[in-house]
Amino acid sequence: MANIIQLLSAVSTDVGAVSKGDRNNSPGGSFNFRGIDRVVNATHPAFTTHQVVVVPSLLAVNYDEYTTTQGKRQSWVKVQVMYTFYGPEGDKVEAVVPGEAGDSADKGTAKAMSVALRTALLQVLNLPTSEEDPDATTVERGNRPPEPNAHAQQVDPGEKRRLDLAEQAIELCKANNVSAEASRKLISDVGGSGKVREQSEDVLNKLVAALMQIQMSNQQPEQQTLDNSEATL
């Protein structure tokens, strides 16, 4: 006659996988799980075949109350149960498991005991779910995305001055209607080459000075016109 350990192994082999075919659609988040009925229905035939009996012993119970987000009062029950798995020769294996559940009526204790039994059966028999193992897939991590303004925080003071000068030069080009071709010639005249934002700080200083001279030259005819107008009055 096989001992209880061998019988439990045979029960586990007969039962096989128990999938997470039940679903909880509570407002806090939906998820799949293996309910007590699914687990008991899957294990009962094998227990009967191998003459294994499961006997519960309540070791501890705690009752509490709480209020839900909808304002309803519910009982909350926590239990600690020892389940003894007996073989036909009287040898046994014991498993102590917790269980807890809430209920708005008088079913809290029954629910908590059901949770404890489900836990004992799943863990003693080591029943798989038949679902894909998390290690079956691999996620390759890339670089961490930059935080907002991370680039600006990493720019050194010298580079910031250069960028500010480049923006000032661009604004002066727009304000004085300096064409792209004319701006390239100005850059060449002050010892640079390429686009405005590519210039060194020294070249940009000279470029800004040249553009400000152009701006002052453009303003002189307007000032002269105003002076002539005042003279005629």
The CATH number given to whatever domain includes residue 26 is 3.30.390.80
For residues 120 and 173, state if they share a domain: no
Residue 84 lies in a domain: yes
Q: What is the pLDDT of residues 173-200, one digit of tens each?
A: 888 888 888 888 888 888 888 888 888 9
Sheet holding 73-86, edge to edge: 53-67, 73-86, 92-103
Q: Do 29 and 86 share a domain, yes or no?
A: yes
Question: Residue 60 pLDDT > 80, yes or no?
Answer: yes
pLDDT tops 60 at residue 55: yes
Which domain, by its residues, includes 216?
Answer: 156-224
Residue 202 has pLDDT above 50, yes or no: yes
Q: Assess if residue 111 is contained within a domain.
A: yes
pLDDT-based confidence at 130, cuts 50/70/90?
Answer: low
Q: What is the pLDDT of residues 135-186, one digit of tens each?
A: 555 545 556 556 555 444 555 788 888 888 889 888 888 888 888 888 888 8
Q: Are residues 31 and 82 in the same domain?
A: yes
Give the chain's mean pLDDT. 81
